[in-house]
Structure 1
Amino acid sequence: MSFKIAIIGAGSVGFTKKLFTDLLCVPEFRDIEVALTDVSQHNLDMIKAILDKIVEANALPVKITAHTERRKALEGAKYIISCVRVGGLEAYADDIRIPLKYGIDQCVGDTICAGGILYGQRNIPVILDFCKDIREVAAPGAKFLNYANPMAMNTWAAIEYGKVDTVGLCHGVQHGAEQIAEILGAKSVSELDYICSGINHQTWFIDLRLNGRKIEKDELVAAFEAHPVFSQQEKLRIDVLKRFGVYSTESNGHLSEYLPWYRKRPDEIARWIDMSDWIHGETGGYLRHSTETRNWFETEFPQFLASAAKPIDPAKRSNEHASHILEALETGRVYRGHFNVKNNGVISNLPSDAIIESPGFVDRFGINMVSGITIPEACAATCLASINVQRMSVHAAIGGDIDLLKLAVLHDPLVGAVATPEEVWQMVDEMVVAQARWLPQYAHAVPAAKERLAKSSVKTRDWAGAARRNVRSIEELRAEKSALKKAV
């Protein structure tokens, strides 16, 4: 088979390498073209060097091109994959830093909450530019696969306003299933059958079967509490499982910032998180992790390049959805996964316009969602709070409406549990001013926001958060990796 795939934001080097290697595990895909595009020539050069090395080492006829001019990469592409972070780590640092001044402590801040909403404001105009290019220069009927967060907002904008065939992809469901398989003593996750449904990062295991046997709440709670690691790392998720009756797919740290109950008081946060790794609730944990990963890659690039020169092992193909979806569409081999699409009745007790994450099957006819699912009422209530924030956020981003943006932030569950309306209004002004270069739709609102900030009497504080860690140096990272090797 010969067709073209474009990867936007290909400078996300590690993730792009994984997607590329997965694609080459499909025997029919050995003759494809992969066009890389990124705003950073430096990152583009690094990832192309790595992919060229993989192709050379495996003697493949795959064609790889790299372009800083996006439209060139998209010309004739049948599939477009996006993994962009608009504003990079510089803007992301403001997503964490500024809300902390108002008492809002986020672990990740890329889905909803103050950081995720502003992240969406930066991404959505760019997503619409992608869609315009796809409509104009990509292959007719091209499919857009979005991996970038905030998943629901980006996918909502691409479908509703970009008018492009779009699916949002995430790996939270797979990771949650791996945990459950482990605590139940399964030899492999393949022994576990499950239905997850909800919205991205708030998806729920509403039906679980181990080798055909239904797993009920009490057994799941007991298994998690008996596990020596997860019982400590997933305290918040276990508490939600006890109260809601179903397990959330999302990590302890992520889930903590979508709910109004666990991060609203600094002295309570430590009770629900675990500091063994960033993903379990550390303040600004993903920002620290991303910064360290970038620094490590920049320093150790020669080693990454050298490691690319080895045979591809199809047995090590990852569970990221992209390659499996393309394989199903192109070969007809059916793939079952959980996908982010417009609801349109798939989940009966969530709004039809919402972007939901739910089971579907892929074959030559496309992505076919399983409809008529009803999620538990408590799960629906939690999802609805986020959906309403997402809808307002998308509409604000499309219209450059700073008043609607402030209302979206005000209605965020964690923000609303921590901050007053006056604090929210000032915080949004401050974030829009700080990120003005990535928010062209708010250019008209920036001067007035600056004037309000100059006159404001709302007090803020210099606070690092309840559970913050410093970014580790390359030397510290080397020492830690060395210690882990010795321990093994």
Structure 2
Amino acid sequence: MSFKIAIIGAGSVGFTKKLFTDILCVPEFRDIEFALTDMSEHNLQMIKQILDTIVASNKLPTKVTATTNRREALTGARYIISCVRVGGLEAYADDIRIPLKYGIDQCVGDTICAGGILYGQRNIPVILDFCKDIREVAEPGAKFLNYANPMAMNTWAAIEYGKVDTVGLCHGVQHGAEQIAEVLGAKSVSELDYICSGINHQTWFVDLKLNGRKIGKDELVAAFEAHPVFSQQEKLRIDVLKRFGVYSTESNGHLSEYLPWYRKRPDEITKWIDMSDWIHGETGGYLRHSTETRNWFETEFPQFLASAEKPIDPAKRSNEHASHILEALETGRVYRGHFNLKNNGVITNLPADAIIESPGFVDRFGINMVSGITIPEACAATCMASINVQRMSVHAAISGDIDLLKLAVLHDPLVGAVATPEEVWQMVDEMVVAQARWLPQYADAVPAAKERLAKSTVKTREWAGAARRNVRSIDELRAEKAALEQAV
């Protein structure tokens, strides 16, 4: 087989390498072309060196090109994969820092909540530019695979306004299943059968079987509470399981910021989180992790390059959906996964226009979703709160309507639990002004926002958050890695 895959945001070096090696685990894909594109020439050249080393070490005919010209990379592509972060870590830091001034303490801030909504405002104009290029220069009928957050908003915009065949992909379901398999004592996650349904990062294990035996709420709660690690790292998630009756796919830290109950009072936050790793709820945890990862990669690049000389091992192919979807579409070998697409009746008690995450099967005919799923009422209610915010956020990003943007932020569950309308109005003004270079649709609204900020009497505070850790130096990361290796 010979076709072209374009990866936008290929400077996300570690993730691009994973996708690349996964795809080359498919024997029929040896002769394909990968076209890498990114705004950073520096990052592009680093990842191209790594991928070229993989190709040479494995004696493959695979072609790898790299260019900052996105349209050139997309020309003739059959598949386009996006893993972009518009605004980079600079804008992301504001997504965390500015809401903290108003008492809004986020762990990740890239899906909804104040940070996720503004992230969507930065992404959506760029996503529509991608879609325009795909329609004009990619292979007819090209498929757009979006890995970038905010998943639902990006996918919603690409399908509804970009008019491109799009699927959103995430790994939260797989990670949740791995946890469940472990607490239930399964030898492998393959012993577990499950149906997960909801929306991205709020997907629920609505049906669960271990070796054909149905697993109920009480057994699952007991298993998690007995686990020596998860009982501490997933306290909030276990509490939601007890109250809702089903387990959420999303991590403790992520889930905490989608709900209005656990992060609204600083003295309560530490009760529900765990500081052993960023993903369990630390303030700005993913921002710290991302900063450390970037610094680590820059410094340790020779080691990353050396590791690329190892042979590709199909047994180590990851559970990221992209390679399995491409394999199913191209070869007809059926793949079952959980995909983000427009609902259109797949989940009976969520709106038709929402982007849902639910099971589907892939073959030569495309992605075929399992329809007629009804999720528990409490799960639907929680998803609905986010869907309404996502819908308003997408419409605001498309129209550049700053008033609609403020209403979207106001209706966010955690923001609404913490901030007053007056505080929300000022916070959005401050975020739009700070990020104006990435928000072209709000250019006309920025001068008035600056004037309002100059006259504002709303009080804020400089605050690091309830559970903040400092970014670790390279030396600290090396020492920690050495200690872990010694312990093993």
- If the length of structure 2 is used for normalisation, what is the TM-score? 1.00
1:91-119 Cα deviation digits (max 9, x unpaired): 00000000000000000000000000000
The equivalences for 1:340-359 within 5 A come to 340-359=340-359
1:364 positional shift? 0.1
User: Tell me, what secondary structure is at the counterpart of 1:110?
Assistant: coil
1:218 positional shift? 0.2
1:127-167 Cα deviation digits (max 9, x unpaired): 00000000000000000000000000000000000000000
**CA distance in structure 2 between the aligned counterparts of 1:63 and 1:479, rounded to whole angstroms:** 38
**CA distance in structure 2 between the aligned counterparts of 1:485 and 1:74, rounded to whole angstroms:** 42
1:361 positional shift? 0.1
**CA distance in structure 2 between the aligned counterparts of 1:486 and 1:335, rounded to whole angstroms:** 39
**CA distance in structure 1 between the aligned counterparts of 2:470 and 2:140, rounded to whole angstroms:** 48
Q: What corresponds to 2:186 in structure 1? A: 186
**CA distance in structure 1 between the aligned counterparts of 2:128 and 2:348, rounded to whole angstroms:** 29
**CA distance in structure 1 between the aligned counterparts of 2:48 and 2:381, rounded to whole angstroms:** 45
1:379-427 Cα deviation digits (max 9, x unpaired): 0000000000000000000000000000000000000000000000000
User: Tell me, what secondary structure is at the counterpart of 2:300?
Assistant: helix
Asked if 1:106 corresponds to 2:136, the answer is: no
**CA distance in structure 1 between the aligned counterparts of 2:438 and 2:370, rounded to whole angstroms:** 38
1:16-46 Cα deviation digits (max 9, x unpaired): 0000000000000000000000000000000
User: Tell me, what secondary structure is at the counterpart of 2:228?
Assistant: coil
1:307-337 Cα deviation digits (max 9, x unpaired): 1001000000000000000000000000000
**CA distance in structure 2 between the aligned counterparts of 1:310 and 1:181, rounded to whole angstroms:** 30
**CA distance in structure 2 between the aligned counterparts of 1:476 and 1:312, rounded to whole angstroms:** 31
User: Tell me, what secondary structure is at the counterpart of 1:462?
Assistant: coil
User: Tell me, what secondary structure is at the counterpart of 1:248?
Assistant: coil
Unmatched tracts of structure 1, length 5 or more: none
1:168-220 Cα deviation digits (max 9, x unpaired): 00000000000000000000000000000000000000000000000000000
1:298 positional shift? 0.2
1:329-388 Cα deviation digits (max 9, x unpaired): 000000000000000000000000000000000000000000000000000000000000
User: Tell me, what secondary structure is at the counterpart of 1:257?
Assistant: helix
**CA distance in structure 2 between the aligned counterparts of 1:17 and 1:195, rounded to whole angstroms:** 30
**CA distance in structure 1 between the aligned counterparts of 2:287 and 2:48, rounded to whole angstroms:** 25
1:243 positional shift? 0.2
- If the length of structure 1 is used for normalisation, what is the TM-score? 1.00
**CA distance in structure 2 between the aligned counterparts of 1:300 and 1:237, rounded to whole angstroms:** 35
**CA distance in structure 2 between the aligned counterparts of 1:158 and 1:429, rounded to whole angstroms:** 26
User: Tell me, what secondary structure is at the counterpart of 2:312?
Assistant: coil
Q: What corresponds to 1:169 in structure 2? A: 169
1:62 positional shift? 0.2
1:53 positional shift? 0.2
**CA distance in structure 1 between the aligned counterparts of 2:447 and 2:65, rounded to whole angstroms:** 42
**CA distance in structure 2 between the aligned counterparts of 1:452 and 1:49, rounded to whole angstroms:** 49
**CA distance in structure 1 between the aligned counterparts of 2:259 and 2:150, rounded to whole angstroms:** 16
1:282 positional shift? 0.2
**CA distance in structure 1 between the aligned counterparts of 2:206 and 2:341, rounded to whole angstroms:** 19
**CA distance in structure 1 between the aligned counterparts of 2:84 and 2:212, rounded to whole angstroms:** 40
1:49-83 Cα deviation digits (max 9, x unpaired): 00000000000000000010000000000000000
Asked if 1:451 corresponds to 2:417, the answer is: no
**CA distance in structure 2 between the aligned counterparts of 1:370 and 1:481, rounded to whole angstroms:** 43
**CA distance in structure 2 between the aligned counterparts of 1:325 and 1:406, rounded to whole angstroms:** 38
The equivalences for 1:332-481 within 5 A come to 332-481=332-481
1:417-463 Cα deviation digits (max 9, x unpaired): 00000000000000000000000000000000000000000000010
**CA distance in structure 1 between the aligned counterparts of 2:141 and 2:462, rounded to whole angstroms:** 50
Aligned residue pair count: 488
User: Tell me, what secondary structure is at the counterpart of 1:268?
Assistant: helix
User: Tell me, what secondary structure is at the counterpart of 1:133?
Assistant: helix
User: Tell me, what secondary structure is at the counterpart of 1:163?
Assistant: coil
**CA distance in structure 2 between the aligned counterparts of 1:32 and 1:69, rounded to whole angstroms:** 20
1:305 positional shift? 0.4
Q: What corresponds to 2:313 in structure 1? A: 313
User: Tell me, what secondary structure is at the counterpart of 1:247?
Assistant: coil
**CA distance in structure 1 between the aligned counterparts of 2:211 and 2:462, rounded to whole angstroms:** 53
**CA distance in structure 2 between the aligned counterparts of 1:211 and 1:479, rounded to whole angstroms:** 42
Runs of 4+ in 1 over 6 A off after TM superposition: none
**CA distance in structure 1 between the aligned counterparts of 2:68 and 2:327, rounded to whole angstroms:** 28
- Identity over aligned pairs, percent: 92
User: Tell me, what secondary structure is at the counterpart of 1:205?
Assistant: strand
**CA distance in structure 1 between the aligned counterparts of 2:260 and 2:462, rounded to whole angstroms:** 23
**CA distance in structure 2 between the aligned counterparts of 1:401 and 1:45, rounded to whole angstroms:** 39
User: Tell me, what secondary structure is at the counterpart of 1:348?
Assistant: coil
**CA distance in structure 2 between the aligned counterparts of 1:166 and 1:481, rounded to whole angstroms:** 39
**CA distance in structure 2 between the aligned counterparts of 1:98 and 1:310, rounded to whole angstroms:** 44
**CA distance in structure 2 between the aligned counterparts of 1:480 and 1:68, rounded to whole angstroms:** 36
